[in-house]
Amino acid sequence: MSSCHLPLNLPASTGSPPYVCCPPAATYEPRLFRPNSSSSPRMRRAAHSVDEAYAAKLAQAYALMKALPPDDPRSFIQQANIHCAYCNTVYNQMGSSELFQIHNTWLFFPFHRWYIYFHERILAKLLGEDGDDPAFFLSFWNYDHPDGASIPWLFSAAPASSSRPHYPVLSNASRDSSHDSATATVALDFNGGDTDCRRRSIQLRENDNTMYRVLIRDATTPESFFGWPYRQGDSPMEGYGFGTVEYCPHNTVHSWVGNKSAMGWRDMGAFFSSGLDPLFYAHHAQIDRLWELWKAMPNHEEIDDEDYKNAEFLFYNEEGELVRVRAGDASDASLLGYVYEEVETPWKDAIPEQRSFAPAELGDGDAICEVGKVMEAKPCSVRVERDPEVSRASPWLHDHLVLSIDYQSQMMVDVYLNLPAANATTDSGCKEFVTNIGHSHVASTPLDVKLDISERLVDLNLDISERLVDLNLTNESRIVVTLVPRIPLPYSSFQNLTILDAYIECALPFQRWDGAHTLF
Ligand code: C2O
């Protein structure tokens, strides 16, 4: 706490006073709080299906929180500032001069679980319920289900029907207004652009594909699900190191909700401001629920590493007392006293199909990506070499497709293996689809500068081992990679993007996006 300084990587706000998000200071050593709830658990319910009595209660709780004086650590602004503090690196790590940033690392899940845990306890307390009263709960934004795939009515500026009450205290003026309606379908693969033109049925299918990919297909190990290890002395992993869910749907939903015309895509689209939107806490209850869903699947284990388990965060609790909590103590949600309502998960059946059945060759009709040249606004393919013997001899290493890319401000590209015919309308629910890559946000630069040329270089390491197995390509020494550019808003055409290199290397099974700078 004593290291707290001004936030870094803020979108520039030239002319306005510095944005301070240090919490009120405490004069005592915080005790360690360890969860041990034994009362019957609160059930966090899907936001779209709560009743009006609950919505009114939630609105009342936020009204009380917003009415607290701004220096009360339980006030809404201080609650929002917690996010700025842990995300815009206002703290140094204990015993190190390195900055502390919990995103893009394995601390992403436990930090946010603790964050919304205290947030929920504070709201309950403000309603006059004591800590063991199971009546008050946070609701989750159930966007993985078709019925929950719009901003939930109670948080929306534009409620679904006039028969439903509207709660200004739960809505937020700094959202993308075209997305804040009951008819807009959330794009879990959003990257700022062309998903807005999709029909609802197509978007819902893409959402299922995304969910299947991030929770089942690509999240087979704790490392891939939780993200890159982050230990004392490591510098912040800006823009890489995230687990599957953190990248998508977590980051993408932040961007989808935020106002892309506002400074840094605020509120939901920027670290410093996202906690200012009450929808943030429903989004994070959903992310927290996805952790529970992942954990309930066979052979899925928590991270078992002392550096993970002993990492600590500071929070003010519902009494306004500063406490320390450990990341490892977040593993068991039942000790924190809540469970999630069980709802259908249709995406579990979105098992990808195989399109191509033989190793692809590049023929005369196929556009070849020219390495070192600006990419055209149409799909192109490149052939990369690998040594199947090396892969076989070192099963603990995975095949990584490394794409070294130079791009301007924004880029969005879908990556396929062994499918040179892929284009922008190809359904991503096929085995050939690797991932969508996109950087819609660039930290440290204000939106108006971001729209100018600011070149970025990124090395994407995409773990494709499982894809090679699925496509029966493990014995091949040449793999066809197809890149499908998509048009990011606010542009009307594809922006300059140059592939500098594309190759396969064997590496530990983590994804890395070195050199990328993203806010969300
Ligand atoms: Cu700390 Cu949704 O991010």
111 labelled catalytic:
no
CB atoms within 10 A of CB 7: 20
Using alpha carbons only, what angle is made at residue 455 by residues 453 and 456, rounded to the nearest 5 degrees? 145
Nearest CA to 215 out of 305, 300, 116 is that of 300
C-alpha neighbours within 13 Å on the C-beta side of residue 400:
18
350 CA → ligand 1 middle, Å: 27
Pick the atom of ligand 1 nearest to 250's CA.
Answer: 2
**Would the pLDDT of 445 be above 50?**
no
- pLDDT at position 452 is 30
Q: Which of 112, 119, 283, 441 is catalytic?
A: 112
Query: Please, what is the average pLDDT of the chain?
Result: 87
For 82, residues 6+ apart whose C-beta sits below 8 A from its C-beta are 23, 115, 275, 315
Tens of pLDDT along 211-250?
A: 999 999 989 889 889 998 999 999 887 767 888 999 899 9
Instruction: State the average pLDDT over residues 336-362.
Output: 93
Give every CB contact of residue 249 below 8 A, 6+ residues apart in sequence: 143, 144, 188, 207, 210, 211, 214
- The verdict on whether 83 is a catalytic residue reads yes
Query: What is the model's pLDDT at position 513?
Result: 55
Q: How does pLDDT run across 456-465, given as a tens digit for each residue? A: 667 778 889 8
pLDDT given for residue 35 in this prediction: 94
Q: Region 307-327: what's the mean pLDDT?
A: 97
Work out which ligand 1 atom sits closest to the CA atom of 284.
Answer: 2
Find the mean pLDDT for residues 58-77.
Answer: 97
Using one digit for the tens of pLDDT, what is the confidence trace for 240-288?
A: 788 899 989 999 999 899 988 887 788 998 888 999 999 999 999 999 9
- With a 6 Å cutoff on the Cβ, whether 400 touches ligand 1 is no
Does 48 sit in the ligand 1 pocket, CB within 6 Å?
Answer: no
Report how far ligand 1's centroid is from the alpha carbon of 108 (Å).
Answer: 8
Asked if residue 447 lies in contact with residue 422, where contact means CB atoms within 8 angstroms, the answer is: no
How far is the centre of ligand 1, averaged over its atoms, from the C-alpha of 481 (Å)? Answer: 32
Is residue 250 in contact with ligand 1, taking CB distance under 6 Å? Answer: yes
Catalytic residue check, 284: yes
Per-residue pLDDT band for 418 (boundaries 50, 70, 90) equals very high
Closest atom of ligand 1 to 102 CA is 1
Q: What is the pTM of this model?
A: 0.91
pLDDT at 491: 55
Residue nearest to atom 3 of ligand 1 (CA): 271
Are 159 and 166 in contact by the 8 Å Cβ rule? The answer is yes
pLDDT in tens, 473-520: 999 999 999 999 886 555 555 667 888 899 999 887 665 555 544 444
Atom of ligand 1 nearest to the CA of 111: 1
Distance 280 CA to ligand 1 centre (A): 8
Q: Is 113 in the pocket of ligand 1 (CB under 6 A)?
A: no
What pLDDT score was predicted for residue 185?
96
Tens of pLDDT, residue by residue over 395-417, are: 888 899 988 888 765 667 899 99
What pLDDT was estimated at residue 492?
55
* Ordered alpha helix ranges (H), 304-408: 306-309, 388-393
pLDDT band at 162 (very low <50, low <70, confident <90, very high): confident
Q: Cis link prior to 267 (omega < 30° from 0)? A: yes
Query: Which structure tokens are listed for 258?
Result: 């935020």
pLDDT for position 168: 95
- The total of other beta-carbon atoms located within 10 Å of residue 12's CB is 15
pLDDT given for residue 319 in this prediction: 96
Terminal Cα distance for the chain, rounded? 25
Better-predicted residue by pLDDT, 169 or 375: 169
